[in-house]
Amino acid sequence: MSDETGDGRTDDGTERTDGTTAADGGWRSDAPDFDDGRRHDWPGDPDWPVRESVVEYETGWQTAGYDLVEHPDGSTKRYYWTELATAVVVVARAGDDLLMVEQYRPTVRNTQLELPAGIVEAGESYTEAGRRELREETGFDAAGVSLLGEVQCTTGLLRHTRGFVFAEGLEPVGREPDDNEYLVPRSVPVEEAPAVVRSPPTNDATLEGVLLAREEGLL
């Protein structure tokens, strides 16, 4: 687990707040012109030549297209991708309880018990976004937020990066949910959390966050 320094980077240099990661080396020229106020971690330079990069549609929530990639044997293939803004997932411990939220997911048509999570805004670090999302969704502010890790999700299809943070020293301040969020704050005993998040219906972000925190000895 890494604490962030004042410049928005972690102490091992892995996080930036300008829409790139340390491995990227900066924005690529083929990146779409994102102007939605969200953070986007566009991929860095490719190991295999990209002969063409095409954006086929944009919805305001996702951008999708394909790269025409040259294989090592000289053949080419279109690799289709969908890009989503960078997200943060919050593992928040309040004493012997883990803070969660219950919400209906129209996409999969069921209600799930989840860790607080949301989109990282442009210029935000994971820890800043995590503190904001925790306050909005659960009504608690955190005295300390630290980075657990960063992953790329569903890499055969998505360009989507997700950061996991751990929040502690929680104090109630009142909820500020977005207009389109219908959330019910819940708490789960820490000792029961791994079993609870493995029980269907569940989702990858919640399961990964709890297991990462447990691996770090935080749960």
Per-residue CA distances from 136 to 141, 183, 185, 208 (Å): 9, 10, 11, 22
Note down the domain range covering 116: 87-215
Question: In the predicted model, is pLDDT for residue 17 greater than 50?
Answer: no
What is the CATH number for 95? Answer: 3.90.79.10
What's the predicted TM-score (pTM) here?
A: 0.85
Is the per-residue pLDDT at 11 higher than 50? Answer: no
- 69 occurs within a structural domain: no
In a domain, 1, yes or no: no
Q: What is the pLDDT of residue 52?
A: 94
Sheet containing 62-70: order of strands: 50-58, 62-70, 76-84, 158-159
**Mean per-residue pLDDT for 210-215?**
97
Number of domains in the chain: 1
Q: Is residue 23 one of the residues assigned to a domain?
A: no
The tens digit of pLDDT for each residue in 58-112 reads 998 999 999 999 999 999 999 999 999 999 999 999 999 999 999 999 999 999 9
